[in-house]
Structure 1
């Protein structure tokens, strides 16, 4: 399991004529074709980030009525909401790219997701070094794994977009 995670992180070749880009791809997603799997990943990712945004907004509203000083916590939650907003924008770009077969939108999502995954991995290592709780560590580890799996499926579909079955992809 860790082999594909390490290979995914180091496999940054996104162009079809690059020989390194086919080191790690999948042919199907849970016995579905890659396009359907990419749709599932895109919509699940979008729903997840929207749910987190709603919870964070609810926490901000609830925390504003607490008589204690929670300004720093509200600032951190606000920054997290900004990152979630960026994630939602790129997820919408991915879904539009999947529906319209626009490789540029999917490529932008893949590049952003590589950066996001690297940032989350660094934050996870920092969180581990600070001695976070076991449940939070498990949650962050599962989240990292799902992000890597979703990226692998979407990238595999991106690399196979010019097949005869799906038609020519546009930029």
Structure 2
């Protein structure tokens, strides 16, 4: 009898239902060449694939920011930040590189100057005493729209956050 090979499906167990619903993000780090990192988000699980690659998982409805950066011998060639909400089973989603299956996209910005502005907006939310995961989705959409148009986004304040929390209660 031959020994099972990886990928044969022999000895592979079905994933628990809670893990099936998870959104997985592949994070890569190759020094001075390629970096993917989570700027914020509540990571539910982490799996190390290799010295340079790991996969983190988020439960449905978790909000997270994925930053990606790549360079070559001449400098930065790509920088991007995406803010997404992890989706549950049977929910519609937008595909995003390195995110399986995808998520509800709140913000997607490319170019180092704009990415830096998004990171500054995240820092401003934290300075307001709010975890960026809990900030209103409309704020991240606003940041995306304003930066895409070349304008500065409004600050997220504790008052705006209180209004968002009240709206969530009213909407149920």
TM-score exceeds 0.5 = no
Q: TM-score range by the shorter chain?
A: under 0.3
Higher helix share: 1
How does the TM-score come out when normalised to structure 1? 0.21
Higher relative contact order (CA 8 A, sep 6+): 1
Higher strand share: 2
